[in-house]
Chain A
């Protein structure tokens, strides 16, 4: 197991490197640059600015300097557009925000979605099942860009209970709507995956054996059925978790939370190369890490899997 983990970490390094190089080249091949504006700068002024940020060097020198900065100083460079902030500052401010509402959405979606899925499977083809499936289909067809305006219409404009947006240091009234809006469609997927995988396990031979030897239904479900039914869910949750904690553009834009999702999209549009790269690397590293974690969790839930 340790050996396996070590090998996976080693493979992660070239993976990240390839990601960095490709993103870097793609970003620089997009038309325009961070200092392209409706009012083109006088050539001398532009030259001074490009010299300051090293943009007048050949691309491979820029890439090399960039990698050196990351490896030696963990410095992701200055933002070219938000001139008084570094990429480290922007991520240090934006990531805790997305981590908070994304993490809460994850917990919310997993607990509710998981429970709904299990209950629906146990009581298959009963009213409870139809109800749970109905809720999850309803949630699935309400993506966050539909949920967000609906929630604001209800809780802000009609009832006047919650603020219509903003982060406000993560105060709970500001958190409720982003968390619900982000969680609903994930919750629906989790509930559907749990239900179908649970049904499959419940129809398997060893569950029949467990029931045949007279174990109480509670023990059958919790001790024998739940754990193996988690395998397909875990592979989904790994990806979903990264997606949620790195922020949703729609949530950020609609609720003005100031999270990373917004910074990511804005940096691409404004050609803020360094911010774009920084967020991509963060996203890439998290994806690699959670994919590994999911693989390790398989071994825990399914004794048949050995590394």
Chain B
């Protein structure tokens, strides 16, 4: 089972009862509130759904966090704070959790939010009839009885979650999970209104039908164009909420979005690749860049289908060493991204970036080592190395692929033949090991190193390069039972630097334009779980 924040898990071991004030929009001294408290932001693609148990994409989850409220929330730094639950207790084994729900929590139709609403939602999440793409989250939470329910062999009512009374919720787990409470900040665990869902079926999330328990209610949705959410007067902490209206505009093209931002139509948008330096100079108080939990890499195909050359570790190392990552971050991307020598980003909580050998060398000595390694492996002018390099169609990926292939050509005389495929075709090709070298990217599901390193274990379904190392498997399995697994992660990263199954290229940065009057944005929350109720617009 996966681990959430190690540090947080450790601190929770000491105190099993968590209470505290809810986080809310606190106006900073010296700020006066603008008359119009409307927050408008750009989304790349329309949300898949606003049903908490169905939603699977980022833009939908952002809306769900505003419309619904789960047991626990996150504050601006990503710490756990009370939500509908005022706190919880757990037993010695950390496999039974009892949440106490606040009495004043209400649905937008005035009905109280009860423990039964959570029981219904969690059963609904894993019920095969719901067919939720996130039903595996129930398995990740290790709730008692989840496997048979998912397989359709047991009734959802056998799930290990019980409403002791209206304001007490008990959850029984099959494993000891010290970080279980953190998982309740995930949208798929948010309550859903049984009566409304039964009345309207799949149409219950339409603005005219929806009933929700968060700070906002959905008031308008124009497919592919916009969705609007407005204050829910029934929300228990409505008095502390400032933003009146939140508008999400679907704008596919990031340059168009930037134009509309500059015309004053948006409070927030992404910065297109390469434009950050210019924008930062022109609008220093608006262009912001902060680390994200994502890793950009190229994976070698180490399966039987892969090329012979890549089975030689010297070839893999040579190709990785010869990449001058600073050119990619500083000349191509130019948005504050970070050069990557490890798979796990440095921003990950509790992860100390180990100084793997090639990260401490200068680029000149890396280049020299690369030439030597490749010659050692028997490749050179008389036996040139040629391979295919696959990425999914996009201007950004193309620029990086060209830069990388040029570095190889110039430094090593290696020919990488570039090929691109449309997204779904690319996924199918990569998933079938029908490639030689392929682009990959991974964003953490939670803020802990195992969300990255698990990907390179042999049993991972996401390990498209089919790298297999018994030692990595053992270390990662052991890490799940440890309170502090830092040593294991360091060792795994060292193995990865030695074996080089993937070429780490860079770690992402979130690069945004935010109007200067949009306050309280949680830039320190690396998972970027933001709540509109914490924000406000200053004059």
Write the residues of chain A forming the contact surface with B, with a CB cutoff of 8 angstroms.
30-33, 35-42, 44-45, 48-49, 51-53, 78, 81-86, 89-90, 93-94, 97, 152, 156-157, 160, 163-167, 169, 252-259, 262-263, 266, 269-271
Contacts and interface: CB of A to CB of B under 8 A. Distances in A.
Interface string B242-278: 0000000111110010011011010000000000000
A26 to B, nearest CB: 14
A259 to B, nearest CB: 8
Interface string B38-80: 0000000110111100100000000000000000000000000
B133 A31 contact: no
B429 interface: yes
Contact of B205 (A31, A84, A259, A263): A84
B198 to A, nearest CB: 16
Contacts of B223: 82, 85, 89-90, 93-94, 258, 263
B250 A41 contact: no
B256 A48 contact: no
Contact of A31 (B135, B256, B263, B428): B428
B263 A160 contact: yes
A51 B262 CA distance: 47
A254 B135 contact: no
A194 B428 CA distance: 50
A165 B427 CA distance: 33
Interface string B444-466: 00000000000000000110000
B265 A164 contact: yes
A90 B129 CA distance: 23
B135 A45 contact: yes
A41 B259 contact: no
A269 B172 CA distance: 42
A36 B424 CA distance: 7
6 contacts: A31-B428, A84-B205, A156-B259, A253-B256, A256-B250, A269-B423
B427 A36 contact: yes
Contacts of A259: 224
A157 B259 contact: yes
Contacts of A40: 431, 461-462
A48 B124 CA distance: 13
Interface string B197-230: 0000011011000000000000000111110000
A32 B151 CA distance: 24
Contact of B49 (A41, A82, A90): A82
A185 B157 CA distance: 62
B44 to A, nearest CB: 11
Contacts of B222: 93, 167, 169, 258
Contacts of B510: none
Contact of B150 (A30, A31, A48, A82): A48
A165 B249 CA distance: 10
A18 B233 CA distance: 54
Interface string B493-528: 000000000000000000000000000000000000
Contacts of B461: 40, 42
Of the four ranges (under 10, 10 to 19, 20 to 34, 35 or more), the interface on chain B belongs to 35 or more
A163 B265 CA distance: 8
Contacts of A33: 424
The listed residue with most A CB atoms (<10 A of its CB), out of B54, B206, B423, is: B423
A42 B424 contact: no
Contacts of B46: 82
A263 B262 CA distance: 27
Contacts of A262: 224, 252
Interface of B: 45-46, 48-51, 54, 128-129, 131-133, 135-136, 139, 150-152, 202-203, 205-206, 222-226, 249-253, 256, 259-260, 262-263, 265, 422-425, 427-429, 431, 441, 461-462
A256 B128 contact: no
Nearest to A49: B131
A31 B424 contact: yes
Given A42-B461, A81-B48, 7 more contacts: A30-B425, A39-B462, A45-B135, A52-B129, A152-B259, A157-B263, A256-B249
A165 B133 contact: no
Given A164-B263, A256-B252, A41 B136 contact: yes
Contacts of A157: 259, 262-263
Contacts of B151: 44
Contacts of A169: 222
A39 B249 CA distance: 26
A31 B426 CA distance: 9
Contact of A258 (B133, B224, B422, B427): B224
Nearest to B138: A45
Contact of A49 (B133, B251, B260): B133
Contacts of B259: 152, 156-157, 164
A37 B265 contact: no
B424 A165 contact: no
Given A48-B150, A94-B224, A257-B225, A31 B250 contact: no
The listed residue with most A CB atoms (<10 A of its CB), out of B132, B424, B441, is: B424
Contact of B256 (A37, A52, A254): A254
B400 to A, nearest CB: 17
A17 to B, nearest CB: 27
Contacts of A31: 424-425, 428-429
A116 to B, nearest CB: 31
Nearest to A85: B223
A85 to B, nearest CB: 6
A261 to B, nearest CB: 10
A37 B392 CA distance: 13
A257 B224 CA distance: 8
A165 B429 contact: no
B150 to A, nearest CB: 5
A271 B424 contact: yes
B42 to A, nearest CB: 9
A40 B463 CA distance: 11
B219 to A, nearest CB: 13
Closest 9 CB pairs of A and B: A258-B225, A32-B424, A52-B131, A258-B224, A164-B260, A31-B428, A93-B223, A84-B49, A48-B128
A165 B224 contact: no
Contacts of B150: 44-45, 48
A159 B43 CA distance: 26
Contacts of B225: 97, 166-167, 256-258
A83 B226 contact: no
A84 B51 contact: yes
A160 B263 CA distance: 7
Contacts of B224: 90, 93-94, 252, 258-259, 262-263, 266
A39 to B, nearest CB: 6
B371 to A, nearest CB: 35
A165 B51 CA distance: 28
B323 to A, nearest CB: 23
A9 B504 CA distance: 61
B75 to A, nearest CB: 27
A32 B425 contact: yes
Nearest to A81: B48
A42 B459 CA distance: 12
A271 B131 CA distance: 18
The listed residue with most B CB atoms (<10 A of its CB), out of A49, A53, A81, A83, is: A83
A48 B149 CA distance: 11
Contacts of B135: 45, 48
Contacts of B425: 30-32
